Structure 1
Amino acid sequence: MAERIIVRLGDPILRETSKKVSAITPQVEKILDDMAQTIYAGKGRAGLSAIQIGIPKRLVVMDCGSGLVELINPVLLEKSGEQVGQEACLSIPGVFGIVRRANYVKVQTLNRQGETITIEADDFLARCIQHELDHLEGILFIDHVKELFSAKTGKKVSLQDLHRMLFDRRRR
């Protein structure tokens, strides 16, 4: 397993639609392993989609507090209820926003053995799933927010400030 480099806001790949995984090969399993290593190296980060490491495949790994969950070609079957809460993203470091999501989701996905499974989730896990499924469609959490806030200060951040923050980090 190897930690992967996270693609940052501004890279056009984050706006691409991810493609279906045609077969669960050793290469796909290695990508999943590397993704898990990457989120655990991120000190408490909840999830990661393959597009965030530059691979436009429909793969997601998450650990929202109950152990590792892997999604291969996930499809949202149902959603209901409502929750409003903070979200952040490894691809957009240093900021968070308040996002409205469904409180319950039902997702059909494949596991590593190629079996179709159904996952039902609510609360934080439902939020994580929706955030990661958005990534598979080229949607970022900032597309859902009215305001962004600095993770350090809690003060409002404009999109222009956000781009400046990310650009300054890349030059260092």
Structure 2
Amino acid sequence: MILPIVAYGAEILRKVCSDITPDYPNLDKLLADMWETMYSSNGVGLAAPQINKDIRLFILDSAQIFEGQDEDEKGEYPDEPGIKGVFINAHITGFTGNEWSYNEGCLSIPKIREDVMRPLKVTLEYLDENFVPHTDTFTGITARIIQHEYDHIEGKLFIDYLKPLKKKMLKGKLTDISKGKIKVDYKMVFPK
């Protein structure tokens, strides 16, 4: 089932989320719905707060980015061909590598894209969909998506990394999003 995406301005997008246990109700269905929602919205990642759940859960499919690359772009990022994964109760344990800029967007903040600086590599502890624990280091585009989605479960948004002047320039667009004065080709729910 395709779920509505929570729009910028909703309180849940600013909430630090809680860990879950293996007996979380209907987790398999929730994950299936999140994958369907993400793909139908043309996203590469989706965090639980974006579908109005205040739990530490996000999914990503960075392989989509590499599948769509032109031949001359191949080999540009160290994490090629990308991954598809579920991250439950994730906690970042460290960052390494130089920060680099990449143009980010967010399903909860449609039609706004901005360059954001993030470290090249991120290490995190997390559980997969079977609640098997992992500690892995990710790099490149995959690391960036993980950091973006991780921010969601920490109550942060990519626009928080922008300089004050840039945020001021976006204020009108952000207000329009929060008031539902925007057209997108996926289901959204706007703050009341």
TM-score band, normalised by the shorter chain?
A: 0.7 to 0.9
Show the counterpart of 1:92.
109
Uncovered stretches (5+) of structure 2, i.e. residues with no partner: 64-81, 184-192
Alignment partner of 1:132 out of 142, 149, 152:
149
Q: After the TM superposition, which segments of 4 or more aligned residues of structure 1 sit over 6 Å from their partners?
A: none
Query: What are the within-5 Å matches in structure 2 for residues 69-84 of structure 1?
Result: 69-81=85-97, 82-84=99-101
For 1:63, the aligned partner's letter is D
| Distance change >3 Å, CA 87–CA 24, structure 1 → 2 | farther
Show the counterpart of 2:59.
61
Show the counterpart of 1:37.
36
For 2:142, the aligned partner's letter is L
Q: Which structure has more RCO (C-alpha within 8 Å, separation ≥ 6)?
A: 2
Structure 2 CA distance, aligned partners of 1:8 and 1:24? 29
2:109 and 2:177 in contact (8 A); partners too: no
Deviates more, 1:114-123 or 1:70-79: 114-123
Q: Could you tell me how far 1:29 is from its partner in structure 2?
A: 2.0
Structure 1 CA distance, aligned partners of 2:106 and 2:116? 12
Q: Could you tell me how far 1:166 is from its partner in structure 2?
A: 4.8
Show the counterpart of 1:141.
158
Q: Could you tell me how far 1:22 is from its partner in structure 2?
A: 2.1
2:10 and 2:178 in contact (8 A); partners too: no
Show the counterpart of 2:182.
169
For 1:17, the aligned partner's letter is V
| 1:159 partnered with 2:171 | yes
Q: Could you tell me how far 1:160 is from its partner in structure 2?
A: 2.1
Uncovered stretches (5+) of structure 1, i.e. residues with no partner: 149-155
- Percentage identity across paired residues of the two chains: 33
TM-score, normalising length from structure 1? Answer: 0.86
Helix, strand or coil for the counterpart of 1:103? strand
2:110 and 2:177 in contact (8 A); partners too: no
Show the counterpart of 1:107.
124
Q: How many residues align?
A: 161
Alignment partner of 2:136 out of 104, 112, 119:
119
Deviates more, 1:62-71 or 1:10-19: 62-71
2:8 and 2:177 in contact (8 A); partners too: no
Q: Could you tell me how far 1:67 is from its partner in structure 2?
A: 4.3
Structure 2 CA distance, aligned partners of 1:29 and 1:89? 24
For 2:95, the aligned partner's letter is K
| Distance change >3 Å, CA 161–CA 169, structure 1 → 2 | closer
Structure 1 CA distance, aligned partners of 2:3 and 2:177? 22
Q: Could you tell me how far 1:68 is from its partner in structure 2?
A: 2.1
Q: Could you tell me how far 1:23 is from its partner in structure 2?
A: 2.2
TM-score, normalising length from structure 2? Answer: 0.78
